[in-house]
């Protein structure tokens, strides 16, 4: 009898790629004519990015630059959780962006139920902030991956430990 094949569904991002994307964004902001004199700061601390800039216009432009640099570095924009804009000292604008990592329990249950409903020969098991998917056939596992990629979840999904 053949052993079960499995893979894990996780939601992670490469921290070094994020740092590189933010460095590139900060460099472009310092170079751009319309943003050069705004004294914009983009800081990464633990699991938050803080953008401090001059006005609403420059805040929107900085977010666009930051998102484009993240996309070019193959980072999903679903890891960004924008908090409300706030006024900072000196008539400036501040935006805090929390970084999402891991799959929350409610989303994990939703994904697991989706898999169980559509694929009868596949077993799922929630393990912390990851989901283990097992089946006898690797074709079933690949079908699950294809199905999940066609869905739109609020977190970025990656597949690891494919055995």
> Is the model's pLDDT at 103 over the cut of 50?
yes
Residues 45, 128: Cα–Cα separation, whole Å: 24
> Is the model's pLDDT at 2 over the cut of 80?
no
Backbone φ and ψ for 67, nearest 5 degrees, come out as -65, -40
For the chain, what is the radius of gyration of the CA atoms?
20
pLDDT for 116-153, tens place per residue? 898 888 889 888 888 999 989 888 888 999 999 898 88
- CATH code, 128: 3.30.70.860
The number of distinct structural domains making up the chain is: 2
| Residue 9 CA: distances (Å) to CA of 49, 92, 111, 141, 158 | 25, 41, 10, 11, 6
- CATH code, 30: 3.30.70.990
- Cα 127 to the center of its chain, rounded Å: 20
pTM of the shown model: 0.81
**In a shared domain, residues 36 and 88:** yes
Would you state the structure tokens that stand for residue 124, as one six-digit string?
């799922």
Contact by Cβ (8 Å): 54, 40: yes
> Is the model's pLDDT at 1 over the cut of 50?
no
Q: Specify the pLDDT at position 162.
A: 80
pLDDT for 30-71, tens place per residue? 998 888 888 889 999 989 999 999 888 899 999 999 999 999
**In a shared domain, residues 25 and 79:** yes
> Is the model's pLDDT at 21 over the cut of 60?
yes
Residues 47, 5: Cα–Cα separation, whole Å: 34
Element (H, E) at 141: helix 138-150
First vs last Cα of the chain: how many Å apart?
16
Cα angle value 74/160/126 (rounded, 5°)? 115
**In a shared domain, residues 84 and 114:** no
**In a shared domain, residues 94 and 107:** no
**In a shared domain, residues 66 and 124:** no
**In a shared domain, residues 78 and 130:** no
Note down the domain range covering 118. 5-12+103-160
Q: Specify the pLDDT at position 97.
A: 92
Would you state the structure tokens that stand for residue 149, as one six-digit string?
């990629």
**In a shared domain, residues 25 and 93:** yes
């Amino acid at each position: 009898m053949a052993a079960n094949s499995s893979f894990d569904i996780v939601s992670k991002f490469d921290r070094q790629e994020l740092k590189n994307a933010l460095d590139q964004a900060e460099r472009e902001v310092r170079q751009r004519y319309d943003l050069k004199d705004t004294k914009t700061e983009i800081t990464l601390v633990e699991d938050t990015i803080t953008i401090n800039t001059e006005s609403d216009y420059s805040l929107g432009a900085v977010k666009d630059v930051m998102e484009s640099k993240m996309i070019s570095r193959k980072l999903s924009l679903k890891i960004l959780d924008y908090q409300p804009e706030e006024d900072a000292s000196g008539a400036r604008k501040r935006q805090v962006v929390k970084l999402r990592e891991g799959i929350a329990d409610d989303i994990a249950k939703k994904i697991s139920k989706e898999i169980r409903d559509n694929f009868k020969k596949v077993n799922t098991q929630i393990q912390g902030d990851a989901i283990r998917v097992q089946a006898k056939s690797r074709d079933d596992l690949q079908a699950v991956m294809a199905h999940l990629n066609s869905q739109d979840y609020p977190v970025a999904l990656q597949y690891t430990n494919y055995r």
